[in-house]
A and B are shown apart, each in its own frame.
Chain A
Amino acid sequence: MPVRQDRRQFLKTTLVAGIAVTIASPGNSALAALLERENLRPAPWNPKDGSLRYRVDATAKACGDKLFAYDMRARNLPGWPKDQAHAMLLRVTRADRVYAGFDLAALGEELKPDRIVTAADLAKDGLKFPPFYGDDLLLPEGKTPAYLGQAVAILVWHDFARYRFAKNALKFRDDTIRWGDETGPLERDPWAAFRYVRVGGETPFDDDRYSTLKDTVVFPGGYKKQLPQWPEALAGGKLGEQGMAHAQAMARELDAPPADWLVLARDYATQSIDTAALEPDNANGWYDAANATLHLIVASQSPQEVAEECAKLMAASRTGAKRLVLHPCYTVGYGSKDHTHMPFYGFAASFYGDGRPVRLANDRYEQFQSSLKRHAFSMKYRVAVERKTGKIQIFTADMQGNGGGRCNFSPSVALVAATAAQSIYYVPRSDMASTALATRALDAGSARGYGTLQSMAATEMIVDEIAHELGLDAIDLRLANVLRTGMKNTQGAIPGGALRADEVLEKARAHPLWKDRAARKADYENRHPGRRYGVGFACVQKDFGTGAEAAFAQVEVSREGKIRLRHIAVEIGTGMTSSQSVLCARWFGRPADAVETAQTDWSDLPLVATHDPWLMQQDVQDKQEKNPRWTPHLATPTSASNSAYFYGHATSEAARLVFNHGLWPAALALWGRGYGGGQLAPLAVRREDARWVDGRLTAGGLAPLTLEAIVAHAYEAGLVTGAVVHTFNRWQWAEAEFPLDGAAERLPVDALALRYGDGAKATTPNGYRVVDRSRVFYPPAQRNNAGVTYYSAIGTLVELAVERASGKVHLLNHHSILECGNAIVPELVSGQLQGGIAMGIGHALHEFLPLYEDGPGNGTWNFNRYTLPRGSDVAVWTQTGEVLPALSETDPPKGMAEVVMIPIVGAIVNAVHHATDKRFYDLPLTPSKILAALDAPPNGDKA
């Protein structure tokens, strides 16, 4: 399945479509000194307790150094002209009539742009969007806009002051765009629809009768009035028809359930939001015509995509450009800078600076008007529970996500929403359908949560209501249904490792906030007349990764003992640079001394990818994998909570290779020096005995050695001093056998190159030798249907009070219990937890964007009316959190940056019910909605 459907076909790391691509990312150029100066210092490491004192980028960030693309100007880039031109995009504010050009008379003669670029100019120069983004980089005259806020022109000024005043003059005007005939908004078929049907076996551990993993995802044959036309229900038919027969049987049973079942049918809705990344989308590009070279600074979570696609666009254009130099920077996006269109607008604008670098940087109004949004969802849920046991029998869902007017990741967001909806529960039979709608709303994409925030928060609301209906404790009901280790998810896949949601639930059940909630409510309401007190709980588990996680990582140690890490990963604020650096400490006794992020030049391990990894057929994989330089996928964007587990795997495997084939044999040689085998000879020492203590290596009582001494010998002896690995994971790791030291070694990587010490022959540009695999074991293509196998779990208890007079919610306290394996840097995990919860609070209570004409596409939205949580909104002094201890020190670190924001949403809604006796199904929970419910006549407890 196209979990991340980016349709990439082919990439050579340094030559794309005949265009030479150089990535001048942090670490290897003059810009690098500017960007990663801090990283080139040793990490603030305490070797005594193996802790990092602070983030490796901390000083630079606290001092306001230039780290973001937004900070960069032409004068900062060595070799660039100093005169910076500035550009803006002119955008439409309606999408119901034919676009007929624009009128800049409001600018007068003085503020007139120096260059105006329209669709006609782009057509002449052969510039367009990459295929992923569809048509119309700029909307041509004569067409109805596909969505609100669609760009129609790039306006360029050669100086800042006129740009600033012109931009101010063009704000909030309705008379800039000219309109033709009214057409109504475009009506288009949905971007995609999927249906996941499963009928489990006798017990959760028996084989499924039908499941996506075993059988198929059900796809529609087409659409009628935007509704998917699912296959006919036929028990003996094709796989999809069989699935529909099971779905039909479930629907009939829910319509006429057995007497001892409770069937709850509820409709949920959740809003569109802006990720509100404080760095607005931006780019700064200079086309050096004399050298046919485009230099481009971007703010992107997916620089590999930008490099590849810009190169292809250049090759297909009539610009004459032959070379691309890309500068990815540190950034922030929460998903909204993953596969976003801004880098391509910046790319196109670069060709119209008349020799000057062109900076295209959103202000906040423009950011609201154009950045990728979180999908609004509507969800129809039906859940059947056996009354006497509280066991879930059937869960069906029909959900629609609003993907807006340009297809971004909407298909996979819809898919992930459906496959995640089961959350922490075992569901014996399920039918989860999901559709990504095409509308005139702004395009929605990869936003933190990726569909699961929407669907799992609703699940937690319906579970709370079921418990209430059955008169059961809501955590008891959850425990009765919790997905335990070895049980299958709604796709029929068995998640990896031990599932520990049950431990989270047990801890929550014993917490004073839950245990004492009745007494606390009575006490609080006595002391606070006019306020209603409530405690709510929700618990979810969320996937991390995308089903085609691919990474390159390189770890090498210099002759002087300096450890260098290169990685594809982008620093988006999560602290990935710090944690990947720390992963090296296990193998080198201290973190990497230098970390170079966002790397796309992997010429030391040249690989090819040929097909979409999510759509790949088994026969294609079987054929292609015979080429030892082939991989299903080259590199994954920094997203999907993927850095700790997936990127960390690549880092650790590269570091491990250097240790196992370089440092360890070198250390043994040093310990074995002297007559009769020296201090080593009398001892039985194994590699697993190796320990770094206070920066020195010891094992089984051998004298500690410094890294520098070991490395010096590794160089002298021609041992391994550097490794580049490529890793691939399709809900399980690709493994391969490599001829190493005369034996076949099976490793969880699919390609590697090694650098050896003195006297070794190198075959790659930077002194490496590719070690071609002798056998490879890729996860079967069918495993794409698993949907998910990696989960992190979290439960959150919320204590709040509702003001009866105003409906305002006051968050008093919250406590979270997180399971995420071994944290690499515990402070970073804690920070993600706190930050994710704040974002969840915003989603539940504050943030809201109308989808259409009154929404952000009209260019009038900013933080004055888009309310982000502040310190007083998040229970900043009272909140607590805990992380379940890992099962052992060998548990891998798990992705947790998205899951942490989800349970707080359901917990708040459930707490408001506890406070007010009113159920709410429509987010955000604004004071006016709550007040309306409180003021409504008492006709049941539905609001």
Chain B
Amino acid sequence: MDNILLKVENLHAGIEGKEILKGINLTIRPGEVHAIMGPNGSGKSTLSSVLAGNPAFKVTEGSATFHGIDLLALAPEDRSHEGLFLSFQYPVEIPGVSMVNFMRAAVNAKRKYFGEEPLSAGDFLKLMRQKREVVELDNKLASRSVNEGFSGGEKKRNEIFQMAVLEPRLSILDETDSGLDIDALRIVSAGVNKLKTNENSTIVITHYQRLLDYIKPDFVHVLYKGRIVKTGGPELALELEEKGYDWIKQEIDNQ
């Protein structure tokens, strides 16, 4: 039994014929937190979209194995069932669909996938209540439509709430800190940390070191021009915060 949760090898992908990821290699073990940083346009969000199976992106080469399964062969919903969660940078509004109905559909779809009966209404509401506390979300949210009229902070908290309900093995937080004030940032990070175990892993995509003060990474990767060009420990993030990306860009562009 190898102990690898996600292994990405030589992954190439793009959109509308334009290649954005140009050979990503990444290995994540259970319990690890990986931060992915990099300048705008380096492919960070594309990587999260491709791993989650967004049909807008096309994989042209390489592989991704998720606890032994060929991830790229799975439909996006099956990737979710298998334990992959993406916290969206821009959570989508679905007018008229209440959070309760939305989450019930999500939870029961997963149960169906594993051959289990749907949760009873009582058990489901109990689950919602428990998980809401993780991100200090008030219960009015349950009757509101998915992300509709939510503030930026509420949207991100709502993402972490969904993550708490679905209990993923791998969470990808795509710029979860963007648009958050300090208080919201603290609540969201605290939620993520509460959900952390030795079994599940997290990929944190961010521009700023700030978030990494709250969510401590084991590894920091720098993504540039579609490749991971540098990997280090938490100190790499501090160095980037101080010096910016230019020194890395120069290093690479000179090669």
A binds B: no
What is the interface of chain A, defined by CB distance below 8 A to chain B? none
What is the interface of chain B, defined by CB distance below 8 A to chain A? none
